[in-house]
Chain A
Amino acid sequence: MNRMTGAQLIIALLQRQGIRIVAGIPGGANLPLYDALAQSPHIRHILARHEQGAGFIAQGIARATGQPAVCLATSGPGATNVLTAIADAKLDSIPVICITGQVSTAMIGTDAFQEVDTYGMSIPITKHNFLVRSAAQLLEVIPDAFRIAVSGRPGPVLIDVPKDVQNQLVEFADWPAPGRADAPPPLDSDALARAAAMINAAQRPILYLGGGVIHANASAAAVQLAEKAGLPTTMTLMALGVMPSEHELSLGMLGMHAAPFTNLALEECDLLIAVGARFDDRATGKVARFCPQARIIHVDIDAGELDKIKPAHVGLVADAGEALTALLPRVAADPRRAWRERVAALKRRHPLPGCKPHEIVRQVAALAGDEAIIATDVGQHQMWAAQAYPLRKPRRWLTSGGLGTMGFGLPTAIGAALARPDKTVICFSGDGSLLMNIQELATAAELGVNVKIVLMNNNSLGLVRQQQTLFYGRRIFGADYQMRVNFLKVAEGFGVPAFEWEDLDAAMATAGPSLIHAPVDAAEYVLPMVPPGAANKDMIGGEVHAHA
């Protein structure tokens, strides 16, 4: 018979799930859990400086490895602080398990100290959530949480555990099996045959890949299909790295900040093959005018995505890898010369306009090498990196796509560096974003993680400034900072070596974390830009560009 407390049981079950790192912050309502964690020789605890940081550290681990990762927070403000990182994981389908402490069962509903309705607040931002009512329930809840987080379309699961449940003794005979992914739905061979026939009959097909291809570890299968069938291939922000950016078939990212040729090619395509992509508004622009000539094949593991935004002529509820692999023998080898020549001509005539920030991105890339992992914050620097960084492999591009959370970059980079200590992690950030989780510089310094922060500093909320310039009559309000933060001193105060841009080489050669301060003119814009709500072909090009 096994006999232990609920807290000890949680830690033992996490260990049996293969968890070796958890990030979190202790507080009153999760102290029993921390006491149990302290006794574990197998699980390393990463002390974040803010619960949102802990949530993003877990995300960094999950995004870089594809495995579920765990964060811990106490009740009340601990829980509310971590919710942004959980919502971010929901929007980008990242398997994060968040375990929050809660006031004791008898105190729930009494407005006790540090009590909030964590369960109620987390319903709309998790894939599923639990409020655990007895220690014995943990035997089902913990494996279930992992199974749910990684099955089908991945997503975050929150487990709220009252303090008395953590302290309650539980006896049980057998350990439950660790939670693993359910088998994906069976392939619909009829739909597969129709999809293959549509691809074989298409004159101007485009393959449109989303983050689901990365979650399914299906990058190689996607590239194989594209090469066999001669499919020019565009990727969403989430899918960058699936096909190397230099690949002759790559059209790069589509949508709001795509290269003009990408959106123009989509305008001409007669078949759009969407795999693990969800027709997000930043990708499609005005949906009614997206790919106006195209029939649509849509492959997604989440049935709720089919026909949600754009009705598909053939819809397949399937694992992206299984569907792509099954399509491969059914699709005819076809170089599609005429269409690829047309796409090549569009590339020559309508290239991505260059800008100075692209040079920053490219110089960093040249030093970082092929094996680096790239994390970004949110804003102009994110889009410049998405446009210009030569991404060549999956799980090397960690960015907040759906929720667009400023403050994502630094803690996510720390998580990635912990999970992949063999790699250099670059964190492209902006001054606005970095300030939103700057306290994690202390975590980075304490751990000595190999994170190089490239701070593109324009002393403003650049993408807001850009929109106010373009769409609000140049009335800049609330977007320019009145004072300049000395980020070099701030970083050094946290114990992170800091360098000016001219010393990039030295910064990259420094062991452990470093910050590189790269000034950017506030008049630099991310171009082209499709105005929100407009069709993708109506891109604002270079006319407002500082260097036009």
Chain B
Amino acid sequence: MLKRITLGYLVFLLVIFALAEFIANVNPIIVYNQEEWHFTLFSGMEESMEADFRLVFTPLPYSSQNQDYSNLNLKPFSSQGRHYLGTDHLGRDLLANLIYGGRTSLLVGVIAIAITTLAGVLLGGLAGFLGDNGVKLSVSFSLGMIVAVMPAYYYAVYLRQFTIKESFLTSTWEAVYQITISLLVALMFFVIGYLAHLVLRKVKYFNHKFFFPLDLLVLKLIEIFTSIPGLFLILALVSVFRPSLVLFAFIIAITSWTGLARLIRAEMIKIRGQSFIEAAQALGLKPLVIFWRHALPNTFGLIVVYFTFGLSATIVIESTLSFIGAGIPPGVTSWGKLLAGFSFSNWWQTLIIAIVVIATILAIHYLGRILESRYNPQSN
């Protein structure tokens, strides 16, 4: 029963968020003007349409930032206007804000936690599983890579830094495009380095192998990241880059991947010692196959728990950062921002927001438990 309610609620939220523009929008959906039908949901009405028109509106005729000056501080379920859950002191509709804010919050949360999980699981997992003597590198390979780093940095980062910085100011997709180009350039140099390794390998001295201290390096990386004060890093990044959703998700990921990485690393060291891993080795499986198919699924429970808790934590982080103006860009609403805008005169607003946020967080946690019991054969 609880399972159905949970899943139903989450699906309901997802549908609402996906169709947010069709549910709450100050623009009419369709306008009939001068014997022509205009689809105006995204474009809005033009001045010329004022003369003669018939309108079809969305169920809630307000957008999130839309101010209704005649209805300030409206209580929920009042008959004035169509503000079902009331308005705030600037006349913004609460229900519309809830819908758009929830979409932002979940989007940011999922992106941030996905990056976090990927980095944490891969770095922490591999560090724990392979340890300091799991990776053997030859001198020629490491030499090739180290030499390749320098031109790669010069051509991909140093020369292109202004282009990349500019691109962040224009649009997110432009930035992604420019970064991809940089990555391709860097990759090219690494491929050249690898080819050099293939040649150098012939010389006996360069074919000498040594253990690559992966665990040590990942641990040091974690230490470096944890030693940076999160808030200062965020303020520094905000001063350089224009606030955007992707940047914000990235910031959260950067500051929180270390926790998961340490957790997974510790778990992986425990799993590594278990005898089914040894059995897999004895069967002649490749190390990465053992990691991927045997070791990693055993951390599934941990990852699910982290994912669900992380998702709810981002809403809190986001409200903190929005409060100091470093989070979600202005003009975009989010649950965190709504929570941060608490005032005693409009206490019911915060109450409504809190109920929705709490319900969603609980539903996500319960979803985590459902997933865990569904995919972990050992749970009943």
A-B interaction:
no
- Which residues of A pack against B, CB within 8 Å? none
Binding site for A on B (CB under 8 A): none
